[in-house]
Structure 1
Amino acid sequence: MTQILDLWNQATLVWEKGGILMPTLAVLSLYTYFIAFDLWFRLRAIVPRDLQSFPRERWGAFKGGGRINQIMHYCLSDHQDSRETKKRFEQVRLMDGSYLTRRLRFLLVLATASPLIGLLGTVGGMLRTFDGLSMQDSYKMDLVASGISEALVTTQAGLLVAIPALAFSHLLKRKKKDWLHCINRLESISLRQIKNLNPSL
């Protein structure tokens, strides 16, 4: 309990040293990671954990609900036409793919904005430091020290938000490629199923 209290006190002290931009960085970090985890769970709901063991013939494996089941129902409902199936899978790729691309780009924008806000805090802290150096009273060193702290803390906070977010975005890009591979595999299985039901096609 004492360690938690000490950690909380240190975090509060760092927050106070960061100046007026710390709430902005906090809100930005929460929104950034909300988008990142939202994308992660969306992709996780579609992409199987092990693509190497992705079932080719076990048709019942896709009927357990979720997004895969929705895609299969949309692409195969009320028809046994391979051309219509291809058309609907292409629509899924375009609609879902464009959504994922937009969200990934927005995530990159948010991640890039974090160090820039930290840099803005650095400039503010340095200006405060120079103001302190120009003073002649006894509060001079306090103002200089607080200005340097603000400059360093905001820069560090911006980088702490941005670096994991950028790494997360690259992981999500890789997950998006797995998603595309998954959709292509579903299309292949669907076309094979139609061909088995209608050998004359």
Structure 2
Amino acid sequence: MMLQLLGLWESVQDFIHTGGNVLYVVAAVLFFMWVLMIERYWYVTAIFPKTKRDIIAKWDAREDTTSWYAHKIRDCWISEATDKLDQRMLLIKTLVAMCPLVGLLGTVTGMIAVFDIMATQGTGNPRTMAAGISMATIPTMAGMVAALSGVFFSSRLEVKVKREKADLVDSLPHH
């Protein structure tokens, strides 16, 4: 088991060495994005149902549910719950959009390395040029893979959030 972990660690180090330091930035953005998505999923599935039950109980306990004042209270409770559901969703979308851009930063730095090699050593050494080209393409690929994983799960999370909002509104009938 320990040997497998060591082998995996060496593979990751080789990948980062081949792709350049920009992969650390891609990894940081990816990690932060996933932490936020897991937190939001946990909130929507574990915390929000209790909040929703509390709001429904408060609404059902009210004697007045038909006046203008009662409707404004209902709208306020829905708005507060919606704000809590929407928290960090924009940041998650922004991080998803940043992943390919950070990958493109790796492309630019890799191409600069290729041009630097060409300027100092000429075009006669294809092995050193290939290393620069790898440094240019691997971060782009890593950024795209990170973005794809984020797009898939953040869109599913967004659908879940929208469904919870609609369920809350439907659970608070206004007469």
TM-score normalised over the length of structure 2: 0.82
The superposition leaves residues 141-163 of structure 1 with CA deviations (integer Å, 9 ceiling, x where unpaired) of 55423311211221111112111
Mapped to 1, the partners of 2:17 and 2:55 lie a distance apart of: 50
Alpha-carbon distance, 1:47 to partner? 7.1
Please tell me whether residue 36 in structure 1 is matched to residue 37 in structure 2. yes
The superposition leaves residues 4-28 of structure 1 with CA deviations (integer Å, 9 ceiling, x where unpaired) of 3322211111112222212222221
Counterpart residue number, 2:100: 115
Q: Identity of counterpart residues, as a percentage? A: 26
Which of 126, 148, 152 in structure 1 is aligned with 2:111?
A: 126
Instruction: Give 5+ residue unaligned stretches, structure 1.
Output: 49-65, 193-201
Please tell me whether residue 176 in structure 1 is matched to residue 161 in structure 2. yes
Mapped to 2, the partners of 1:47 and 1:70 lie a distance apart of: 10
Alpha-carbon distance, 1:93 to partner? 2.3
Contact kept? 2:59, 2:65, Cα under 8 Å: no
Alpha-carbon distance, 1:99 to partner? 4.3
Mapped to 2, the partners of 1:47 and 1:69 lie a distance apart of: 9
Mapped to 1, the partners of 2:84 and 2:163 lie a distance apart of: 16
Please tell me whether residue 149 in structure 1 is matched to residue 134 in structure 2. yes
Mapped to 2, the partners of 1:39 and 1:163 lie a distance apart of: 18
Mapped to 2, the partners of 1:16 and 1:186 lie a distance apart of: 54
Distance 1:74 1:142, change over 3 A: farther
Deviating above 6 A after TM superposition, structure 1's stretches of 4 or more consecutive aligned residues are: none
Structure number with greater Rg is 1
Q: Which amino acid aligns with 1:114?
A: C
Contact kept? 2:97, 2:147, Cα under 8 Å: yes
TM-score normalised over the length of structure 1: 0.73
Deviates more, 1:33-42 or 1:119-128: 33-42
Contact kept? 2:44, 2:85, Cα under 8 Å: no
Mapped to 2, the partners of 1:125 and 1:134 lie a distance apart of: 14
The superposition leaves residues 125-183 of structure 1 with CA deviations (integer Å, 9 ceiling, x where unpaired) of 0111121123338x955542331121122111111211111111211221122102220
* 3-state SS of paired residue (2:121): coil
Alpha-carbon distance, 1:102 to partner? 5.3
Alpha-carbon distance, 1:73 to partner? 4.7
Deviates more, 1:141-150 or 1:168-177: 141-150
